Every structure is written in C-alpha cells, then in structure tokens.
Amino acid sequence: MTVFHKLLSVSLLLLLAACGGGSTKLMQVYKDKAYKEPLKKVLVIGNVVDMTNRKKFEKAFSKKLRNKGIEAVEGLDYLGTEELTQKLVIDKVKGSDFDAVLVTRIVQIEEGTAPDGEIGIPKLYYNSLENYRWPRSERTIPVKGDRYREVRLETSIYDAQSTDLIYGVTTRTLDPKSANNAIDSLGKAVMKNLGLYDLL
C-alpha cells in the first residue's frame, strides 16, 4: 500500500459542531504484520487549516496516547504553524527519536441516504509518508435508503524512520454532537483497536 495521503479540512471540521450525537464504528483496518513493536513516541498530526481545530484534535488524541503510557507530541508544538507538506513532516521526523507519526483527516461529512444505514467504504490507505498528499478531501457517491448524517475519518500511523505504513483505520461516526464529541469517540475506538493489535 501507499503512505501519508489524507487529512482534515477546516470547513469540514466546522461542520462537526452542527451535527447531532453517536458512536464511532471501525469500517476498515490495516495492520502491517511485520511490525511487532509497541508504539513508544508518536508525533500526532491533525491536518486542519484552522489552527484552533487542529490544536483541539492533537491535544485530545495526544492525551489519550499518554494515558496508555506512550510519549505523544502534538504536531503544532513540534512542527509549528507552517503549512503541512511531505518535506516538512519527513525532514522533521527522520533521524529523530520518534518511532511513529499518527495522522488523522476527515474524509467526508455527509447527510443523505443509504440502504440499512450503510454506505460504501472506499480504499483510502497509502503505504508511505512519501506518497501522502496534503491536504486532500475525498467524497463518495450517496446511495438510496435510510437517512443518515455521518462523519468519516481516516487515521494512519507511519514508521517515522522508514515512513512505511504501520496501521490505518477508516472510521464512521454517526451524528456526533460536536467536534469534541467526534474526537473523543474516535479516540476511544482507535485506542481500543490499537490495543488489540499490540501497538500500545
């Protein structure tokens, strides 16, 4: 697969505040079977244009990692406010003491219809930081069926030194009450899944 492809857009994050309130489901999960080590030090990045929303995500997700005994560093603290690019991120982490980079982006926020509350899930993972595109927003085609409002996010974890993809997950949060609610729900679901793959 390919690496570092997708992130959060400010307009989409702002839409989160208008949504209702549900839980997060994991739709797709990828784990590199060759990667056996638990995470030790992780750079956490939310690819958001709006710095307030970016800080909100990075702070909340870093806290959840620290609660699991992992040293987590917020992207804004380490990278500053420069525009996120391949060169910036890779130059900063290669040769550092980070073992991993975690990146989350919003793939889609949509209100529409789908059969039995389900919608198609596109393949979103990329196998290395060199292949990650910053930023990019993906949309899927709505299909007929029941009404839904959902926020779909993609979280990827890359080896900071090889830049290879370690772990990737696409999540679906139905009717989050707010941006904070969506972030908290995402964090709980991802932390639980990382534990199942012995990455914590």
What residues does each domain of the chain span?
Answer: 10-196
- The residues facing 173 across adjacent strands are 24, 151
State mean pLDDT over 18-29: 66
Q: What type of residue sits at position 137?
A: S
Q: Cβ(157)–Cβ(44) under 8 Å? A: no
Backbone angles phi, psi at 17, to 5 degrees: -65, -20
pTM: 0.74
Of residues 183 and 73, more confidently modeled: 73
Read off the pLDDT band of 127 (50, 70, 90). Answer: low
Model confidence at 112: pLDDT above 70 = no
The tokens describing 66, both together, are: 């620290």
pLDDT at 107: 77
Model confidence at 71: pLDDT above 50 = yes
Complete DSSP assignment for the chain? -B-------HHHHHHHTT-----EEEEEEEE-TT--SPP-EEEEEE--SSHHHHHHHHHHHHHHHHHTT-EEEEHHHHHTTSPP-HHHHHHHHTTSS--EEEEEEEEEEEEEEEGGG--------BSBGGG--SS--------SSEEEEEEEEEEEEEETTT-BEEEEEEEEEES-SSHHHHHHHHHHHHHHHHHHTT--
Model confidence at 14: pLDDT above 60 = no
What would you measure as the largest C-alpha separation in the chain, in angstroms?
50
Pick the CATH number of 10-196 from 3.30.160, 3.40.50, 3.30.70, 2.60.40: 3.40.50
Nearest to 172 by CA among 48, 19, 11: 19
State mean pLDDT over 111-134: 56
Nearest to 173 by CA among 186, 157, 155, 161: 186
Read off the pLDDT band of 113 (50, 70, 90). Answer: low
Based on the number of CB atoms within 10 Å of its own CB, is 180 exposed (0-12), middle (13-18) or buried (19 or more)? Answer: middle
Q: Out of 54-58, 77-81, 91-95, 147-151, which region has the weakest mean confidence (pLDDT)?
A: 147-151
